[in-house]
């Protein structure tokens, strides 16, 4: 069983964001970085599958040199080796270009199973996983909240709109994109952190994998205009209650 998990390094979401000099993305110099939260569930599921099958698990990340630090966490959680696709401009690339680079790397490696996060916390396109599946002609299943492997087939639970769940079965090879709550990501234990530094880390030049370019170009980035504050209801209690009830009926499904 050959397993690949794709992770992205994103800023700590508590950071103060500023738009960068190009006006195309956020300023990156003074941010604290961490693993995209969705990807942590992907890593955990990949490690569990590796433990179940005795498989071989590679973690891949695209980005500048600093993404290796986030990859070390994935190695400390149980991945066997890291593949760093070096690319200082990955923040300007669209989902198709990123997906194509991953597919270009993975196409002749014989992966049986590929995990990605459902989306990234910064760009949030939720496209990369499905694009990789399409380009590699593998089964692609998104937004999974349950995962089970048995004899080269997977059974996953998908989260659909409105709280509905679907159960999907598929043969391998397959790509799944992982939703929050899929599992409980493990802490990298201290001995495993120490062992991670001895694990193999391969760097591949991103330009060599990039054969398509972006289909979309970012035009400009701006902070949304501040909308008015919340709605403040004033007046007699009975009156307020009736108006509130009307709003709840009209705007929400709480009483539906």
Partner 1 sequence: MNFELTEEQNLIRDMVRSFAEAEVAPTADERDENELFDRELMFSRLAELGLTGIVFPEEYGGAGADYISYAIAVEELSRVCASTGVTLSAHLSLGSNPIYLFGSEEQKKTFLTPLAQGETMGAFGLTEPSAGSDAGGTKTYGVRDGDDWIINGSKVFITNGGEADTYVIFARTDKDAQKHHGISAFIVEKGTPGFTFGKKEKKMGIRSSPTLELVFENCRIPGFNLLGEEGQGFKVAMKTLDGGRIGIASQALGIAQGALDATRAYVKEREQFNRPLTAFQGVQFQLADMATQVEAARFMVYNAAYRASSGLAYSQESAMAKLFASETAMKVTTQAVQLHGGYGYTREFPVERMMRDAKITEIYEGTSEIQRVVIGAALAR
The number of C-alpha atoms within 13 Å of 200 and in the hemisphere containing its C-beta is 10
The nearest distance, CB 61 to partner 1, in angstroms, is 14
Segment interacting with partner 1, rule: CB under 8 A, options 22-30, 72-80, 117-125, 225-233: 72-80
Who contacts 160 (Cβ-Cβ below 8 Å, separation ≥6)? Answer: 143, 166
Q: Does 243 bind partner 1 (CB under 8 A)?
A: no
CB nearer partner 1, residue 71 or residue 83: 71
CB nearer partner 1, residue 171 or residue 187: 187
Q: Which of 8, 50, 72, 93 binds partner 1 (CB under 8 A)?
A: 72
The nearest distance, CB 42 to partner 1, in angstroms, is 17
The nearest distance, CB 192 to partner 1, in angstroms, is 7
Q: What is the largest CA-CA distance in the chain?
A: 71
CA torsion 107-113-114-115 (nearest 10°) is 180
Q: Does 192 bind partner 1 (CB under 8 A)?
A: yes
Segment interacting with partner 1, rule: CB under 8 A, options 66-74, 133-141, 204-212, 216-224: 66-74
CA–CA distance from 123 to each of 139, 158, 221 (Å)? 24, 22, 12
Q: Does 247 bind partner 1 (CB under 8 A)?
A: no
Judged by CB under 8 A, how many residues of this single chain contact partner 1?
16
Segment interacting with partner 1, rule: CB under 8 A, options 65-73, 84-92, 212-220, 231-239: 65-73
Who contacts 89 (Cβ-Cβ below 8 Å, separation ≥6)? Answer: none
Contacts 24+ apart (CB under 8 A), 194-200: 195/76, 196/72, 196/73, 196/75, 196/76, 197/72, 199/75, 199/79, 199/80, 199/81, 199/82, 200/80, 200/81, 200/82
Segment interacting with partner 1, rule: CB under 8 A, options 1-9, 68-76, 98-106, 234-242: 68-76
Q: Which positions touch partner 1 (CB under 8 A)? A: 34, 68-69, 72-73, 76, 187-194, 196-197
């Amino acid at each position: 069983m050959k397993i690949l998990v794709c992770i992205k390094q994103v800023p700590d979401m508590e950071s103060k964001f500023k738009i960068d000099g190009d006006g195309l993305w956020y300023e990156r110099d003074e941010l604290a970085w961490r693993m995209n939260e969705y990807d942590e569930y992907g890593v955990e599921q990949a490690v569990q599958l590796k433990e179940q099958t005795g498989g071989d698990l590679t973690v891949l990340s695209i980005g500048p040199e600093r993404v290796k630090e986030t990859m070390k966490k994935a190695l400390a959680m149980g991945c066997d080796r890291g593949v760093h696709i070096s690319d200082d401009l990955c923040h300007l690339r669209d989902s198709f270009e990123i997906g194509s680079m991953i597919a270009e790397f993975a196409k002749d490696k014989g992966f049986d199973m590929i995990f990605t996060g459902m989306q990234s916390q910064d760009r949030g396109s939720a496209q990369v996983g499905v694009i990789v599946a399409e380009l590699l002609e593998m089964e692609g299943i998104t937004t999974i909240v349950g995962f089970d492997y048995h004899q080269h087939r997977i059974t996953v639970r998908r989260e659909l709109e409105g709280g509905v769940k679907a159960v999907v079965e598929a043969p391998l090879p397959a790509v799944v994109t992982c939703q929050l709550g899929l599992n409980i990501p493990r802490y990298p234990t201290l001995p495993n952190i120490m062992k991670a530094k001895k694990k193999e880390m391969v760097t591949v030049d991103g330009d060599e994998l990039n054969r398509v370019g972006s289909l979309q170009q970012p035009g400009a980035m701006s902070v949304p205009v501040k909308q008015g504050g919340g709605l403040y209801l004033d007046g007699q209690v009975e009156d307020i209650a009736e108006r509130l009830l009307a709003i709840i009926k009209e705007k929400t499904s709480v009483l539906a």
